[in-house]
Amino acid sequence: MADDINSPVPGVTPKAAYHHGDLRAQLVAAVRDLVETYGPDGFSVSEAARRAGVSSAAPYKHFRDRHEILRGVVSEAMDRLFAGMEAAAAAYPVGSLEAMAAVGQAYVDFAKGEPGVFRLVFGLTEGHENAPDLLAKGESCFGVVVQAVAACLDLPLGDRDVQRRAYMLWSFVHGHSFLHIDMKTRVTTAEIDDWDYLMTISRAILARPARP
Amino acid sequence: MADDINSPVPGVTPKAAYHHGDLRAQLVAAVRDLVETYGPDGFSVSEAARRAGVSSAAPYKHFRDRHEILRGVVSEAMDRLFAGMEAAAAAYPVGSLEAMAAVGQAYVDFAKGEPGVFRLVFGLTEGHENAPDLLAKGESCFGVVVQAVAACLDLPLGDRDVQRRAYMLWSFVHGHSFLHIDMKTRVTTAEIDDWDYLMTISRAILARPARP
DNA sequence: TGTACATCAGTGAACGCGCGTTCACTGATGTAC
DNA sequence: TGTACATCAGTGAACGCGCGTTCACTGATGTAC
């Protein structure tokens, strides 16, 4: 899952790296903050370098261009999202509705916790969003949903119906996340309790007969 | 619904306006195209002016600043979205599942037809997204969903359950729209037929017992 | 252990660019008499 | 109908800005002998 290609930091930060001490990771962290503060398009290489305390040319020793830094942020964020979803599923009995809702809750929590990064991860990022490693991480995340659905329905992972229902649940959770962080929920008078909603939706979509 | 405050064009374009001939509308159209081509952040006042064939200072005779032009685009887009949703609902019997699905289909069609503008409308647009006229238009759009749900369940519009289920349906359709235009659907092997999905979801969410 | 050398992370100055916005202006249009 | 005037949409030059990226460089670190 984790590929450390062209990363000077294999696993953990080695004491203090060459000159600066792990500039790469610090740049990614700076960009993450910038994206969180100013949105996916409010970030600049110069500002990130400034925050990391280096010259504006330094980042180019670690990244080809501005896009590659963003990809670094996305990659790291998807790792955290995946970990959160897995941990949530593991906290409830396999095949329970609660496990299903918990996976959704982890997703919503991520969106609420770092909306800027969430937007970056799920938005369309100028051209190279086709990076195979990011696609693989996306599949891993969706895989957690598929697994929970399959367990609920007691069907194999590849089952057509499992995939369908997993996608429906994802759509719902994804839509709810965006509507919330984009503050569109003011148009409805309904008070929205995440867990309650997630349980209701899981129940509705995982009901035995897909089409009566 | 339509407020023509500070618009030199009351209803229909009057032959040819002062010098240029309805620059305001042409600027909005140019920005709409730019947003569609380069995304919500890829637009610039200069480029819009260039496309409309006027100097870069001309737009400031019609709009206070760049944000106000964007708001013009959003406002116009929401009018079209609302019209599409209403027409879709009207094409099927009141209270039918088909009417419900059709409203969702109109929403998805809008997203697919002009993804850039859709992103602009539903994203968070720097600070002044609290414009009351835009909020009102958002409420009108959601109102179409609420109305369809109320008709299906034979309950009053203000009913708590109606609002809840309407929001659920909106979340699903919204999520599906974004996942599609942001090309995230590649992580699933499920083939997605909009109408089929919308009917299935409508059926699942409008089933009589909200919680068995 | 000591020396010579290769590596390469970070520097700082510079480049060309397009942007948002302002300003004093000009000239066509509409209006009052 | 004709003249004088007010309005105001659009001009074009200018401003200061921060950006992404390049370049030749420097100096600390790691390595071979």
> How do residues B90-102 score in pLDDT, each as one tens digit?
999 999 999 999 9
Cα(A179)–Cα(A70) distance, integer angstroms: 24
CB contact under 8 A, B200 and A184: no
Q: How far is residue A106's CA from residue A83's CA, in Å, rounded to a whole number?
A: 9
Cβ of residue A27 near strand C, that is under 7 Å?
Answer: no
What letter represents residue B10's amino acid? P
Contact B166 A176 (CB under 8 A): no
Q: What integer pLDDT is reported at residue A127 of this predicted model?
A: 54
What is the chain B residue with the closest CA to A188?
B163
Q: Of B61, B76, B93, which residue is a domain's last? A: B61
How far is Cα B3 from Cα B71, in angstroms, rounded to an integer? 13
* Amino acid (1-letter code) at residue A29: A
> Which residue of chain B is at minimal alpha-carbon distance from A191?
B164
b/e burial code for range B90-107 (CB count within 10 A of at least 16 → b): eebeeeebbbbbbbbbbb
Q: What are residue B7's phi and psi, to 5 degrees?
A: -105, 125
Q: Rounded CA gap, B164 and B142, in Å?
A: 12
Q: What is the pLDDT of residue B5?
A: 31
Contact A144, A103 (CB under 8 A): yes
Measured CA B193 to C1' D12 distance, in angstroms? 54
For the residues B192-198, what does the mean pLDDT come to? 96
pLDDT in tens, B6-35: 333 333 333 334 566 789 999 999 999 999
B39 touches strand D (CB under 7 A): no
pLDDT mean across residues, chain A: 88
Task: Please spell the DSSP secondary structure of chain A, one letter per residue.
Answer: ----TT-S-SSS--SS-SSSS-HHHHHHHHHHHHHHHH-TTS--HHHHHHHHTS-TTGGGGT-SSHHHHHHHHHHHHHHHHHHHHHHHHHTS-TT-HHHHHHHHHHHHHHHHH-HHHHHHHHS--TT-TT-HHHHHHHHHHHHHHHHHHHHHHT--TT-HHHHHHHHHHHHHHHHHHHHHHTT-GGG------HHHHHHHHHHHHHSS-S--
Residue with tokens 């290609």: A5
Look at A174 and B178 and tell me if their CB atoms are within 8 Å: yes
B37 CB below 7 A from strand C atoms: no
The confidence score (pLDDT) of residue A131 equals 86
Q: What would the mean pLDDT of B140-169 be, rounded to a whole number?
A: 97
Residue A99 sits in the same domain as residue A181:
yes
Residue B119 CB in 7 A reach of strand D = no
Write the single-letter amino acid at B173.
V
State the alpha helices, DSSP H only, in B12-96.
23-38, 45-52, 66-90
A176/B175 touch (CB, cutoff 8 Å), yes or no = yes
pLDDT given for residue A128 in this prediction: 60
Per-residue pLDDT, averaged over B96-121, amounts to 97
Contacts of A163 in chain B (CB under 8 A): 188-190
Phi, psi for A76 (deg, rounded to 5): -65, -40
CATH assignment at residue A170: 1.10.357.10
Tens of pLDDT, residue by residue over B51-76, are 999 999 999 999 999 999 999 999 99
Domain boundary residue, one of A61, A80, A99: A61
Query: What is the pLDDT of chain B when averaged over all its residues?
Result: 88
Nucleotide C22, nearest residue via CA and C1': B57
Show contacts of B33-36: CB within 8 Å, 24+ apart.
Answer: B35/B70, B35/B73, B35/B116, B35/B117, B35/B120, B36/B114, B36/B115, B36/B116, B36/B117
Distance of CA A39 to the CA centre of its chain: 16
Of B126, B10, B123, the residue nearest B68 (C-alpha):
B126
The answer to whether the Cβ–Cβ distance between B122 and A182 falls below 8 Å is: yes
- Count of domains in chain B? 2
Å from the B45 CA to the D4 C1': 38
**CA-based nearest residue to B40, from A212, A39, A127, A140:** A39
* Same-domain check for residues B77 and B164: yes
Q: Which two three-digit tokens encode residue A19?
A: 């000159």
Contact B163 A189 (CB under 8 A): yes
Q: How far apart are CA A104 and CA A76, in angstroms?
A: 20
- pLDDT at residue number A97: 97
B22 and B124, same structural domain? no
Number of H helices, E strands in chain B: 8, 0
Q: Answer yes or no: do B112 and B193 share one domain.
A: yes
- What does the pLDDT read at residue B77? 97
Q: Are residues A109 and A54 in the same domain?
A: no
Task: Tell which strand C nucleotides have any atom below 7 Å from a protein Cβ.
Answer: 8-14, 18-24, 28-29
A168 CB neighbours in chain B (<8 A) are: 172, 197, 200-201
Say whether both A118 and A39 belong to one domain: no
B160, B190, B203 ranked by CB distance to A167: nearest: B190
- The four Cα atoms B187, B34, B103, A195 give a dihedral, to 10 degrees, of 50
Looking at the structure, tell me whether residues B93 and B142 fall in a common domain: yes
Let me know whether A186 and A149 are in one domain. yes
Cβ–Cβ < 8 Å for B167, B131:
no
Structure confidence at residue B127 as a pLDDT band (50, 70, 90)? low
Q: Which residue of B171, B186, B194, B202 to mutate against A (max A Cβ within 10 Å)? A: B171
Among A41-45, A102-106, B142-146, whose mean pLDDT is lowest? A41-45
Report the candidate in A198, A212, A85 with the shortest Cα–Cα distance to residue A140. A85
Mutate to test the interface with B, among A178, A186, A189, A193 (most CBs of B within 10 A): A178
Domain range holding A186?
Answer: 66-205
Assess whether B124 and B173 both reside in one domain: yes
